[in-house]
Amino acid sequence: MSDVQAFAEKVIANIEKVIVGKREALELTVINLLCEGHLLIEDVPGVGKTMLARSLSKSLGCSFNRIQFTPDMLPSDVTGVSIFNQVSREFEYRPGPVVAQVVLADEINRATPKTQAALLEAMQERQITVDGVTHQLPEPFMVLATQNPIEYEGTFPLPEAQLDRFLLRLRLGYPGFDDEIKVLEGQQFTHPLEALEQIVSVEEVVEMQEAVKNVYVAAPVKRYIVELTRYTRNHGDVYLGASTRGSLALFRAGQSRAALEGRDYVLPDDIKELAIPCLAHRVILGPAARLRDVTADSVMTEILDTVAVPGGDLAPAV
């Protein structure tokens, strides 16, 4: 797994030229990339959500499109449309902005549910269907969606089916005091994004995504993953718990985190570190819990404290 570790370090170091002091968030972003997943970035404006998406695409050399979601958007504004060609007398497909390797869905919760649903097929099957014709999306394909958790005016909450399609949710948060000074100094004359260069190839990305799948997961760790997920379904404050897709997301993310640490096997610590980013956004709280200001993160913390952590030798047999 040394190749995966070196790959991740190279990508993270490059993005850190733009995103300062957010090592943990960048590691989660790379884990998401290696899992071939989609990322939901939930935070206040101006903390670097868009810059993170653009920095990642430039580092990987991937094609990049940005979709600015608004209430008046139509599904065809996302997927594209078929236009009648007067010369050939046939309909031609004009791709929408979702046809790219890295897609930034900016302020996704400002679009109507009908437009949000246009992403469902793309995020799960990695294809889109327009006028009955299916079009495959490029590889790798990754959606980075941003939403502002405090501006509820004019927003439409993401439905459960859409939330479930995001492998991870992360929050960048405000930078530390010294880090914010570095941001001021770094952007005094020009933005560091302009000088950012591609440091890996698209072929390397696909190769690392395949390599991560070989990381060993012992039976006790698999049981630990499923127990965590099942506890979310039976918790008293939870209306809707994490799905089987959540278990699979935690399984894949654990493999990627182990590879980032240079290991070829997953430890329970990997699962514990990723449980909240992987599962909390899939947990829908009941009305009574929301009135008591209970959060999905606090429910997941309680579950992590409840479920027994497996021990013993979890490395693969030699």
The CATH fold assigned to 1-210 is: Rossmann fold (3.40.50)
Distance CA(63)–CA(57), nearest Å, equals 7
Q: What is the pTM of this model?
A: 0.90
Q: What are the structural domain ranges in the chain?
A: 1-210, 215-311
If one counts every other C-beta atom within 10 angstroms of the C-beta of residue 141, the result is: 20
Domain 215-311 in CATH 1.10.1060.10? The answer is: no
Candidates 223, 64, 72, 246; CA nearest to 160 is 246
The answer to whether the 1-210 and 215-311 domains have the same CATH topology is no
- Exposure b/e, 21-50, CB count within 10 A at least 16 = b: bbeebbbbbbbbbbbbbbbbbbbeeebbbb
pLDDT in tens, the chain (318 residues): 678 999 999 999 999 999 998 999 999 999 999 999 999 998 877 888 888 999 999 999 899 999 999 888 899 999 998 888 888 888 888 899 999 999 999 988 888 888 888 888 899 899 998 888 888 999 899 999 998 765 555 677 788 888 899 999 998 888 889 989 998 998 888 888 888 899 999 999 999 999 999 999 999 999 999 999 999 998 888 998 999 999 999 999 999 999 999 999 999 999 999 999 999 999 999 888 888 888 999 999 999 999 999 887 788 876
Q: Enter the tokens of residue 8.
A: 């991740």
In a 3-state reduction of DSSP, which class is residue 35? Answer: coil
**Contact partners, residue 4, CB within 8 Å, separation at least 6:** 34, 208, 211, 212, 259, 260
